[in-house]
A and B are shown apart, each in its own frame.
Chain A
Amino acid sequence: MLRGISAVILCVIFTAGLFAGAVAPYPYTKQFRERVNAAPSASHWLGTDSLGRDLFARLVYGTRVSLLLSPAAAFLSTLIAGVLGGFAGLVGGWCERLILAAADLSMALPLLFVLLALRALLPLNVSPLVSVIATFALLGLLGWPSSLRVVWATTKNLRNSDFLLLARATGCGRSRMIARHVLPNLRPVMFAQFWISIPLFVLTEATLSMLGLGVMEPLPSWGNLLRGLEDVSAVSTNPWRLAPLIVLMVVVVCFQLILPTPEETA
Chain B
Amino acid sequence: MRSRLPRNLALLILLARALPVGAQTGGELHFCLHGEPKTFNPILVDDEPSENIRYLTGGVLIRLNRQSQALEPALATSWTISRDRRTITFHLRKEIHFSDGTPFSSEDVGYTMRMLMDPETHSSTGDAFRSGEGSVAVESPAPDLAVITFPAPIAGLERLFDQVAILSAHSPKKEMAVLGPFYVADYKAGSYILLQKNPNYWKHDAQGHALPYIDSVRLDIQRNRDIELLRFRRGELQLINRLDAEQFDRLQHENPAVTRNAGTGLDAEELWFNQSPAAPLPEYKKAWFGAKEFRKAISMAINRGDLCRIVYAGYAKPAYGPVSPSNHFWFNSSLEEPKYDAQAALRLLTQAGFRLENDTLKDRAGNRVEFTLVTNSGNAAREKMATMVQQDLSQVGVKVNVVTLDFPSLIERMTRTFDYEACILGLVNTDLDPNGQMTVWLSSGENHQWNPSQKAPATPWEAEVDKLMREQAAAPTDKGRKAKFDRVQQIVAEQQPFIYLINKDVLVAVSSNVVGAAPVVLNPPGFWNVETLRLGPAPDLGAQR
Contacts and interface: CB of A to CB of B under 8 A. Distances in A.
A22 to B, nearest CB: 23
A59 to B, nearest CB: 17
A218 B387 contact: yes
A51 B380 CA distance: 12
Query: What DSSP secondary structure best describes chain A's contact surface?
Result: loop
Contacts of B403: 124, 131, 216
A31 B392 CA distance: 10
B420 interface: yes
Interface residues of B, number: 31
A120 interface: yes
Contact of A217 (B226, B386, B413, B421): B386
A116 interface: yes
A239 interface: no
Interface stretch (A161-169, A187-195, A230-238): A230-238
A128 B383 contact: no
A128 B390 CA distance: 12
A33 interface: yes
A50 B378 contact: no
A119 B408 CA distance: 13
Nearest to B250: A233
Given A120-B405, A233-B250, A212 B383 contact: yes
Contacts of A124: 372, 374, 401, 403, 405, 413, 419-421
B306 interface: yes
A127 interface: yes
A116 B387 CA distance: 21
A6 interface: no
Nearest to B281: A125
A126 B387 CA distance: 16
A211 B401 contact: no
Contacts of A116: 406
A230 B391 contact: no
A217 B387 contact: yes
B404 interface: yes
Nearest to A52: B310
B409 interface: yes
Contact of B388 (A51, A120, A127, A131): A51
B314 to A, nearest CB: 11
Contacts of A36: 310
A231 B405 contact: no
B333 interface: no
A51 B404 contact: no
B400 to A, nearest CB: 10
B246 interface: yes
Contacts of B371: 125
Interface in A200-231: 211-213, 216-218, 227, 230-231
A185 interface: no
A33 to B, nearest CB: 5
Contacts of B401: 124-128, 216
Interface residues of A, number: 28
A29 interface: yes
Interface in B381-403: 383-384, 386-388, 390-391, 401-403
B249 to A, nearest CB: 10
Contacts of A217: 383, 386-387, 390, 402
Interface in B292-322: 306, 309-310
Contacts of A227: 380
Nearest to A123: B419
Contacts of B386: 217
A131 B377 CA distance: 15
A103 B171 CA distance: 60
Interface in B417-444: 419-421
A31 B391 contact: yes
A252 B236 CA distance: 40
A212 B378 contact: yes
A23 to B, nearest CB: 22
Nearest to A213: B377
A245 B405 CA distance: 25
Interface in B69-92: none
Contacts of A50: 310, 384
A31 B250 contact: no
A216 B400 CA distance: 12
26 contacts: A31-B391, A51-B384, A52-B310, A120-B406, A120-B409, A124-B413, A124-B419, A124-B421, A125-B371, A125-B372, A125-B421, A127-B401, A128-B402, A131-B403, A212-B377, A213-B405, A216-B402, A216-B403, A216-B404, A217-B402, A218-B387, A218-B390, A227-B380, A231-B246, A234-B246, A234-B250
The 6 closest A-B pairs by CB, nearest first: A212-B377, A120-B409, A212-B404, A124-B372, A217-B387, A217-B402
Interface of B: 226, 246, 250, 306, 309-310, 371-372, 374, 377-380, 383-384, 386-388, 390-391, 401-406, 409, 413, 419-421
Given A128-B402, A216-B401, 7 more contacts: A116-B406, A120-B406, A126-B372, A212-B404, A217-B386, A218-B402, A227-B380
